[in-house]
Amino acid sequence: MSQYKIEAGTGQHVGDRKEQQDRTALFAAPKAPGYMMAVLADGMGGKSGGALAAEQVIRTAKQLFEEFGPDDDVKAAIEAIVRESHTIIQLSGISAEKEPHSTIVILIITPHHHAVWAHIGDSRLYRFSGANLIERTIDHSYVEKLVSEKKITSEEAKSHTLSNILVNVLGSSSTEPFITFNEYDGLKPTDSFLLCSDGLWHYFTDRELGAVISANTPRIASEMLINKARERASGRGDNCTMAIVKLIKPAKVEKGYTVEKMRRAV
């Protein structure tokens, strides 16, 4: 199978909001070499409740992934992160007298050329091959339901008056979150993933995202995307957050000796 190395990075901007309520992080599994995780959460809730919820997602993901072993089931690990995050956010809301909620999108890449991801809410994961979009998550939102019913288009959904209404979140006191899973086997160089909040994807086409990510390192790509999102937001932008994971060919190791050098060394 094709060999690759992982190149990853994150980017974030508060946008035109008073507070950054998004969180994102990249983790390695200390007990399972070769496994890596990217996670992103978009918090919702006034008076810092959203930031509290998103922070709990990241802390829970880190804690549970540190205990992940090479024989553990990846989907079960993701589900455990989601369920525990949901419970902790609920309890935190009660103790803080707030109503925090959060989205989550999470990706785990294994050393067996396999990727598993899941999401709740409207934070997205995009999978690209080169610059080409192969697939993306479908938002758990009211407008996405309208799109699926062909009542509005995807472009109309972006500016719909109810575009911020989600039907599935972490921390709800009335409903349990449902998890949408997906996976891909046979990872290879030129494959890449983008995890991002709506403060980013709202301003780009799929083609634009793929072109920027394929042509640049994660660091440069995130800088370019944030700058363009800020420009297009025109002073009305939301928190803007992303994690980019690219699979690239390992650099060839050049031999540092010649026959003549070896002769002189003898």
Q: Please provide the average confidence, as pLDDT, over all residues in the chain.
A: 92
Task: Report the CATH fold assignment for 5-265.
Answer: Phosphatase 2c; domain 1 (3.60.40)
- What pLDDT does 1 receive? 46
Report whether pLDDT(172) > 60: yes
What average pLDDT does the segment 238-251 reach?
95
- What pLDDT does 47 receive? 65
Per-residue pLDDT tens for 16-29?
A: 999 999 999 999 99
What average pLDDT does the segment 258-266 reach?
49
Ramachandran assignment for 164, one of left (phi > 0), alpha (psi -120 to 50 degrees), beta (any other): alpha
- What pLDDT does 22 receive? 97
Per-residue pLDDT tens for 59-70?
A: 999 999 999 999
Distance separating alpha carbons of residues 209 and 188, to the nearest angstrom: 19
Distance separating alpha carbons of residues 75 and 80, to the nearest angstrom: 9
Report whether pLDDT(35) > 70: yes
- What pLDDT does 226 receive? 98
Report whether pLDDT(256) > 70: no
Of residues 92 and 210, the one with the higher pLDDT is 210
- What pLDDT does 265 receive? 45
Do 80 and 72 touch, CB atoms closer than 8 A?
no
Bridge pairing between strands 22-28 and 36-44: antiparallel
For the chain, domain boundaries: 5-265
